[in-house]
Amino acid sequence: MAALARAAQAADYPAEIACVVSNREDAPGLKAAAEAGIATAVVSHRDHADRETFDRALSAALERHGVELVVLAGFMRIFSPWFPTHWAGRVINIHPSLLPSFKGLHVQQQALDAGVRLSGCTVHFVIPDLDAGPIIAQAAVPVLAGDTEETLSARILRQEHRLYPLAVRWFAEGRIAIVDGRVSVRDIPSGGALLFSAEP
């Protein structure tokens, strides 16, 4: 969230953060947003009987602030099918693996346990199935000898902070479309790629 807020402060950035919403009053992102002058709201899941009721209240809060794209950043709750259906094509997430490999939690440890040589992060649209939406872009990170979950996570996080604001920029510029279940990004240079590699 902080990386997105920094990006949004640039004069040429085509999107602004309308609000930061959390289900927890103590979420660090709320304090950071308030200090940056960004509107905040808390919609506690404890105040709602089930996931869909919470999701509808969350959606109402977003709509009150005029949100056009929901950007998940550290939001750890699993939505009911209602939310990604209602916001279809307008909610994205970043996941710390090269999807479709290693879904769920502790994905860096999953990568290490599997012995892969390449990991990374994926920005994707959110659909009712967990970590399964159309992929917008990815950044690849090498898995180094001696890596731990912590060291690999830190290296991936640096790429998340680069990739997520870029994907939001593309959306705000109207360059992203979903065609036959896959993402198309307009005006990628000839020979360009949507997989970005990084130095260790």
Catalytic residues: 95
Rounded-to-integer distance, Cα 68 and Cα 63, Å: 8
Token representation of residue 156 = 């991936």
Residue 50: count other Cβ atoms within 10 Å of its Cβ. 9
The tokens for 58 are 């969350």
Pairing of strands 176-179, 195-197: unpaired
Secondary structure of residue 7 in the 3-state scheme: helix
Beta strands in 126-179 (DSSP E): 135-142, 176-179
Count of residues for the chain?
A: 200
